Amino acid sequence: MKFFADTADVAAIRALADQGLLDGVTTNPTLIHKSGRRFVEVVAEIAQAVPGPVSAEVIAADHETMMAEAEVLRRIAPNVAIKVPLTPDGLRTCRALTGDGTMVNVTLCFSANQALLAAKAGATFISPFVGRHDDVGFDGMALIRDIRLIYDNYGFATQILVASVRHPVHVLEAAKIGADVMTAPPSVINALFNHPLTDRGIDSFNADWAKTGQRIL
């Protein structure tokens, strides 16, 4: 499963990339707002930091303006993926962009039927929001299972990009289901390291090494 970071924090992105953990990045208007920086500037910097897809979201609601915004965004770097909402105009834009080779991430997916529509429109990625789905009393991972089944039934090439990931269990369940990608805040990715037995083992080995009185350097 590919790991994308859901952030506009360039320092955090570089740290994950240096660890070999990062395959791409997703951004959205909220994350850009939190960064306090200019949208195009931060997307360009992120695109230089990672070789994989960097999702940059259009703001317009109509097809014509989405296409105009997408033209600006895809000129930033060749690894920019245009993020569009799962609406009729969004899918029309998706079809037009993927038709000429641009990567498209269709976002704000909350049903398997919506995911089916996005795949038929040629989406590169579909972003079902599991955390937000859980928040309103639904099972976010059941949605991922349904999408995986449908896509496998018909051989759709669209990659399932699990979004709104809140904790390491979401990551684990997405991997078990067979999602293609998950995107999460750096804090969630870093939390995957955590286990008390690992910490206890390191402390025990260090204590025993100290008793030897030896040094490697």
List for the chain the helix, strand, coil content (%; round to 5). Answer: 55, 20, 30
Active-site hit among 2, 83, 120, 211: 83
Q: Find, among 117, 50, 55, the residue nearest to 82 by Cα.
A: 55
Is 176 in the active site?
no
How many other β-carbons are positioned within 10 Å of the β-carbon of residue 42?
19
Instruction: Give 164's DSSP letter.
Output: S
Please answer whether residues 84 and 106 qualify as being in contact, where contact means their C-beta atoms are separated by less than 8 angstroms: yes
Quote the CA–CA distance of 130 and 108 in Å, as a whole number: 10
User: Element (H or E) spanning 99, and its range?
Assistant: helix 88-99
Task: Return the SS3 of 40.
Answer: helix
Task: Give the catalytic positions in this structure.
Answer: 83
